[in-house]
């Protein structure tokens, strides 16, 4: 079984009973869509596997030790880097500010690429829902449109305006374009 197959199976089990915010759509479509974005960007299998598993540490009971045992230290390190610390306890604003700082100053390229793919898929979903539901879409988030705009613009500053994104510029450019479309 390939590394990506293992990641698909583990993510499917971990996210089995979860649904996308405000819908009956199985949550697993999000990590699979992130994996497609990473594959289209030409990422290595370890990065794609991490993309599939990027929400397991935040949103399931899978521990870092169990993830490392199942997928290896490299995939586990990328997933950990793409996860918010203290996801269940820290205030939303603190978590988002930490993420922006970490991505700007410390995150290695593989974590930035996986995070960019995740955020690109998220903002594409928001854009699609805005076209159908209008401004009502913001009601399903913990914070409204203005806070989301501030966060996504901060992500663009941290992720997309760097000189060390070599090889993955189209991914970062797509994220910046989509954020500008949703938050002009």
Q: Pick from 102, 43, 111, 107: which is nearest to 74 by CA?
A: 111
Q: Pick from 122, 129, 171, 172: which is nearest to 148 by CA?
A: 122
DSSP states along 96-163: HHHHHHHHHHT--HHHHHHHHHHHHHHHHHHHHHHHHHGGGGGGGSSS-HHHHHHHHHHHHHHHTS-S
Q: Catalytic site residues?
A: 58-59
Whole-number Å distance between alpha carbons of 151 and 51: 20
> Are residues 15 and 31 in contact, defined by beta-carbon separation less than 8 angstroms?
yes
């Amino acid at each position: 079984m390939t590394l990506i197959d293992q990641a698909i199976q583990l993510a499917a089990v971990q996210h089995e009973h979860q649904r996308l915010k405000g819908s009956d759509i199985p949550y697993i479509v999000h990590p699979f869509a992130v994996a497609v974005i990473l594959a289209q960007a030409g990422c290595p299998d370890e990065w794609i596997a991490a993309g599939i598993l990027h929400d397991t540490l935040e949103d399931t009971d899978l521990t870092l030790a169990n993830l490392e045992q199942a997928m290896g230290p490299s995939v586990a390190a990328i997933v950990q880097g793409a996860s918010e610390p203290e996801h269940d306890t820290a205030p939303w604003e603190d978590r988002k500010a930490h993420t922006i700082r970490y991505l700007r100053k410390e995150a290695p390229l593989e974590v930035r690429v996986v995070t960019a793919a995740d955020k690109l898929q998220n903002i594409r979903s928001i854009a699609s829902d805005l076209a159908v539901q209008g401004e009502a879409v913001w009601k399903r988030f913990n914070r409204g449109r203005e806070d989301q705009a501030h966060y996504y613009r901060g992500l663009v500053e941290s992720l997309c305006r760097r000189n060390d994104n070599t090889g993955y510029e189209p991914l970062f450019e797509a994220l910046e374009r989509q954020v500008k479309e949703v938050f002009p």
